[in-house]
């Protein structure tokens, strides 16, 4: 059975309306820059301050986030403390799979990532998307086989601007 892609529009709307400070990274960021790739989840880096974490918790709460592959029946509370205590959250929601990274390997700080991220208009909202240079750094740091394949794609994107959607 083929997995349904995440509902990116609803996710972007929820995060934008909550004013969460996030940067789109991973496969969807590559697609925004013009790559022809597939992804089964949406990845965001986020600022780790209390106000921003509250915005993320409020934005995602209606979509019932739980850690992916979490054992059934084990209690999980989606709250500020859960996000604050995690540098990586791999979540299953009613919108699909979402990964939230409070620390992004290969990047010196979220502030640098955010400052360098171009803004695109997506579903009527302004969305920060990781720059090509930061995408390259993240993929190099991850070093998985798929990341090495993505590095080849990223090299082909140099000089392109993210698409407006």
Query: At residue 163, does pLDDT exceed 60?
Result: no
**Position 150 pLDDT exceeds 90:** no
Instruction: Give the CA distances from residue 51 to residues 12, 45, 61, 97, in Å, rounded to whole numbers and listed in that order.
Output: 18, 15, 15, 24
- For 2-61, the pLDDT digits (tens) are 577 899 999 999 999 999 999 999 999 989 988 888 888 999 999 999 999 999 999 999
Tokens of 17: 């309306």
> Phi then psi for 140, rounded to 5 degrees?
-65, -40
- Where are the extended beta strands (E) located within 15-164? 22-25, 41-46, 66-67, 88-93, 96-101, 119-122, 125-128
Q: What are phi and psi of 24, to 5 degrees?
A: -70, 125
Domain positions in the chain: 8-157
Predicted confidence (pLDDT) at residue 165 exceeds the cutoff of 50: no
Q: The pTM is what?
A: 0.88
Going by the DSSP 8-state scheme, the letter that residue 154 receives in this structure is H
Domain range 8-157, CATH class: alpha beta
- What are 23's strand-pairing partners? 45
Q: Which residues contact 143 (CB under 8 A, 6 or more apart)?
A: none
> ∠52-57-60 over CA atoms, to 5°?
120
């Amino acid at each position: 059975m083929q997995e349904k892609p995440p509902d990116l529009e609803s996710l972007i709307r929820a995060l934008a309306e909550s004013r969460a400070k996030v940067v789109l990274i991973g496969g969807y960021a590559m697609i925004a820059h013009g790559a022809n790739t597939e992804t089964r989840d949406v990845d965001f880096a986020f600022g780790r301050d209390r106000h921003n974490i509250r915005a993320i918790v409020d934005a995602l709460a209606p979509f019932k986030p739980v850690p992916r592959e979490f054992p059934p029946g084990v209690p999980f509370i989606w709250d500020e403390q859960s996000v604050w205590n995690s540098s990586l959250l791999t979540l299953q929601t009613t919108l699909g799979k979402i990964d939230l990274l409070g620390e992004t390997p290969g990047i010196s700080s979220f502030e640098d990532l955010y400052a360098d991220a171009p803004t695109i208009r997506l579903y009527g909202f302004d969305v920060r998307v990781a720059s090509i240079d930061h995408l390259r750094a993240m993929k190099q740091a991850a070093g998985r086989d798929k990341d090495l394949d993505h590095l080849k794609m990223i090299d082909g994107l140099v000089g392109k601007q993210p698409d407006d959607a």
